[in-house]
Chain A
Amino acid sequence: MTNWNVSLLAPEIVLSVCALLIMLLDPPLRRKRLAGFSESVALVGFLGALFLGLMRIGLPVDSSFGGFLIADALSTYLHILFAVIGLSVLIMSIPWLRRDGVRQTEFLVLLIFAVIGMMIMSCSAEMVTMFIGLELLSLPLYVLAGYLRNRERTIEASLKYFLLGAFASALLLMGIALQWGTYGTLHLSSVAPGSGAAPLSLPLAAAGFWLVVVGLGFKVSAVPFHFWTADVYEGSPTPVTALMSTGTKAAAMAVLLRLMSAGFAPAAIEWMPVLWWLAVLTMSVGNLMALVQANIKRMLAFSGIAHAGYLLLAICAGGTAGNAALLFYLAGYTVMNLGAFAIVGLLEGKGERFQSIYDYSGLAKRNPWLAAMMTIFLLSLAGIPATVGFMGKFFIFTETLKAGHIGLVVIALLNSLVSVYYYLRVIYLMYMKDEWGEKPVCRVPASVGILLAFTTLVTLWLGVAPNRLLDALMAAARIF
Chain B
Amino acid sequence: MIDSWILTWLCALPLLGGVAIVLIPRERADLVRWWSLAISAGTFLLSLHLWFHFNVADTGLQFVRSHAWIPRFGIDYAVGVDGISLLLILLTTLIAPLTVLGSWRSVTERVHLFHFCLLFLQTGILGVFMASDLFLFYVFWEIMLVPMYFLIGIWGGTRRIYAAVKFFIFTMVGSILMLAAIIYLVVHHQHVTGLMTFELAALLTSPLEGQAALLACLAFSLAFAIKVPLFPLHTWLPDAHVEAPTAGSVVLAGVLLKMGTYGFLRFCFPLFPEAVHQITPWIMTLAVIGIIYGALLALAQEDIKKLIAYSSVSHLGFVMIGMFALNLQGLTGGIMQMVGHGISTGALFLLVGMIYERRHTRLISDFGGLAKVMPLYTLFFLITTLSSIGLPGLNGFVGEFLILLGTFQVSKLATIFAATGVILGAIYMLRLVQQVFFGTIRHEENRNLGDLVPREIIIIVPLIILMFWIGLYPRPFIERIEPSVNHLLEQVDGVEPAPTHAALPIGSGGALDNHAVIPVAGEGK
Q: Which residues of A contact B (CB under 8 A)?
A: 321, 364, 368, 379, 384-386, 390, 394-395, 397-398, 401-402, 406, 409-410, 413-414, 416-417, 420-421, 424, 427-428, 431-432, 466-467, 470-471, 474
- Contact of A385 with B142 in the complex, beta carbons under 8 Å: yes
Q: Mark B132-144, 1 if CB is under 8 A from A, else 0.
A: 0001001110110
The stretch from B160-168, B328-336, B387-395, B478-486 touching chain A is B160-168
- Contact of A424 with B71 in the complex, beta carbons under 8 Å: no
The stretch from B146-154, B368-376, B503-511, B516-524 touching chain A is B146-154
- Chain B at the A interface: mostly helix, strand, loop or mixed? helix
Partner pick for B180 among A385, A402, A413, CB 8 A cutoff? A413
CB-defined contacts of A368 to chain B, threshold 8 Å? 113
- Contact of B160 with A432 in the complex, beta carbons under 8 Å: yes
- Chain A at the B interface: mostly helix, strand, loop or mixed? helix
The CB with the most chain A CB atoms within 10 A, among B145, B173, B187, is that of B187
Q: List 29 A-B contacts (CB under 8 A).
A: A364-B110, A364-B113, A368-B113, A384-B143, A384-B145, A384-B146, A385-B140, A385-B142, A386-B143, A398-B186, A401-B180, A401-B184, A401-B187, A402-B187, A409-B183, A413-B176, A414-B176, A417-B176, A420-B169, A420-B172, A424-B149, A431-B154, A432-B161, A467-B70, A467-B71, A467-B72, A470-B72, A471-B72, A474-B72
Q: What are the 9 closest A-B residue pairs judged by CB atoms, nearest first?
A: A385-B139, A413-B176, A432-B153, A385-B142, A385-B143, A417-B176, A401-B183, A398-B183, A402-B187
> Is residue B409 within 8 Å, beta carbon to beta carbon, of the partner chain?
no
CB-defined contacts of A428 to chain B, threshold 8 Å? 153, 161, 164-165
CB-defined contacts of B140 to chain A, threshold 8 Å? 385
- Number of B residues near A (Cβ < 8 Å) is 36
A409 to B183, CA, bound (A): 10
A394 to B180, CA, bound (A): 10
A385 to B182, CA, bound (A): 15
A413 to B140, CA, bound (A): 18
- Contact of B169 with A421 in the complex, beta carbons under 8 Å: yes
CB-defined contacts of A321 to chain B, threshold 8 Å? 72
20 further A-B pairs in the complex, CB-CB below 8 A; given A413-B180, A416-B176, A424-B165: A384-B143, A385-B138, A386-B143, A390-B142, A394-B135, A394-B183, A397-B179, A397-B180, A398-B73, A398-B183, A401-B187, A402-B187, A413-B179, A420-B168, A424-B149, A431-B150, A432-B164, A470-B70, A471-B72, A474-B72
> Is residue B193 within 8 Å, beta carbon to beta carbon, of the partner chain?
no
Q: Which residues of B contact A (CB under 8 A)?
A: 69-73, 110, 113, 135, 138-140, 142-143, 145-146, 149-150, 153-154, 160-161, 164-165, 168-169, 172-173, 176-177, 179-180, 183-184, 186-187, 190
Q: Which residue of chain B is the closest to A393 with respect to CB atoms?
A: B179
Q: Which residue of chain B is the closest to A416 with respect to CB atoms?
A: B176
- Contact of B150 with A402 in the complex, beta carbons under 8 Å: no
Q: Which residue of chain A is the closest to B184 with respect to CB atoms?
A: A401
Q: How far is the CB of B383 from chain A (nearest CB, A)?
A: 37
CB-defined contacts of B145 to chain A, threshold 8 Å? 384
Q: How far is the CB of B522 from chain A (nearest CB, A)?
A: 50
A278 to B138, CA, bound (A): 29
Q: How far is the CB of A472 from chain B (nearest CB, A)?
A: 11
Q: Which residue of chain A is the closest to B165 with respect to CB atoms?
A: A424
- Contact of B70 with A466 in the complex, beta carbons under 8 Å: yes
Q: How far is the CB of B465 from chain A (nearest CB, A)?
A: 37
Q: Which residue of chain A is the closest to B139 with respect to CB atoms?
A: A385
Q: How far is the CB of B436 from chain A (nearest CB, A)?
A: 32
CB-defined contacts of A413 to chain B, threshold 8 Å? 176-177, 179-180
CB-defined contacts of A379 to chain B, threshold 8 Å? 146
- Contact of B142 with A424 in the complex, beta carbons under 8 Å: no
Q: How far is the CB of A479 from chain B (nearest CB, A)?
A: 18
Give the number of residue pairs across the A-B interface with Cβ within 8 Å.
81
- Contact of A410 with B70 in the complex, beta carbons under 8 Å: no
A364 to B70, CA, bound (A): 34
CB-defined contacts of B149 to chain A, threshold 8 Å? 424, 427
Q: Which residue of chain A is the closest to B190 with respect to CB atoms?
A: A402
A416 to B180, CA, bound (A): 12
A463 to B477, CA, bound (A): 38
Q: How far is the CB of B227 from chain A (nearest CB, A)?
A: 16
Q: Which residue of chain B is the closest to A471 with respect to CB atoms?
A: B72
A413 to B161, CA, bound (A): 24
Q: How far is the CB of A323 from chain B (nearest CB, A)?
A: 13
A471 to B70, CA, bound (A): 10
A384 to B172, CA, bound (A): 10
CB-defined contacts of B177 to chain A, threshold 8 Å? 410, 413
The CB with the most chain B CB atoms within 10 A, among A385, A401, A424, A427, is that of A385
CB-defined contacts of A427 to chain B, threshold 8 Å? 149
A420 to B174, CA, bound (A): 13
A384 to B120, CA, bound (A): 15
CB-defined contacts of A421 to chain B, threshold 8 Å? 165, 169
CB-defined contacts of A406 to chain B, threshold 8 Å? 180, 184
- Contact of A410 with B180 in the complex, beta carbons under 8 Å: yes
Partner pick for A432 among B72, B154, B180, B184, CB 8 A cutoff? B154
A384 to B147, CA, bound (A): 12
A467 to B68, CA, bound (A): 10
Q: How far is the CB of B212 from chain A (nearest CB, A)?
A: 10
A326 to B71, CA, bound (A): 18
Q: How far is the CB of B32 from chain A (nearest CB, A)?
A: 14
A29 to B186, CA, bound (A): 63
CB-defined contacts of B184 to chain A, threshold 8 Å? 401, 406
A401 to B140, CA, bound (A): 22
A397 to B70, CA, bound (A): 16
A402 to B190, CA, bound (A): 9
Q: How far is the CB of B256 from chain A (nearest CB, A)?
A: 17
CB-defined contacts of B190 to chain A, threshold 8 Å? 402
Q: How far is the CB of A32 from chain B (nearest CB, A)?
A: 45
A168 to B144, CA, bound (A): 45
Q: Which residue of chain B is the closest to A463 with respect to CB atoms?
A: B139
- Contact of B146 with A431 in the complex, beta carbons under 8 Å: no
Partner pick for B172 among A390, A410, A417, A474, CB 8 A cutoff? A417
CB-defined contacts of B142 to chain A, threshold 8 Å? 384-385, 390
Q: How far is the CB of B416 from chain A (nearest CB, A)?
A: 40
A410 to B176, CA, bound (A): 9
Q: Which residue of chain A is the closest to B160 with respect to CB atoms?
A: A432
CB-defined contacts of B172 to chain A, threshold 8 Å? 417, 420
Q: Which residue of chain A is the closest to B144 with respect to CB atoms?
A: A385
Q: Which residue of chain A is the closest to B156 with respect to CB atoms?
A: A432
A211 to B168, CA, bound (A): 43
A424 to B146, CA, bound (A): 10
CB-defined contacts of A402 to chain B, threshold 8 Å? 187, 190
Q: How far is the CB of A39 from chain B (nearest CB, A)?
A: 32
The CB with the most chain B CB atoms within 10 A, among A398, A406, A409, is that of A398
CB-defined contacts of B139 to chain A, threshold 8 Å? 385-386, 390
Partner pick for B73 among A384, A395, A414, CB 8 A cutoff? A395
CB-defined contacts of A420 to chain B, threshold 8 Å? 168-169, 172
CB-defined contacts of A416 to chain B, threshold 8 Å? 176
A398 to B176, CA, bound (A): 13
CB-defined contacts of B73 to chain A, threshold 8 Å? 395, 398
The CB with the most chain A CB atoms within 10 A, among B139, B184, B190, is that of B139
A421 to B149, CA, bound (A): 12
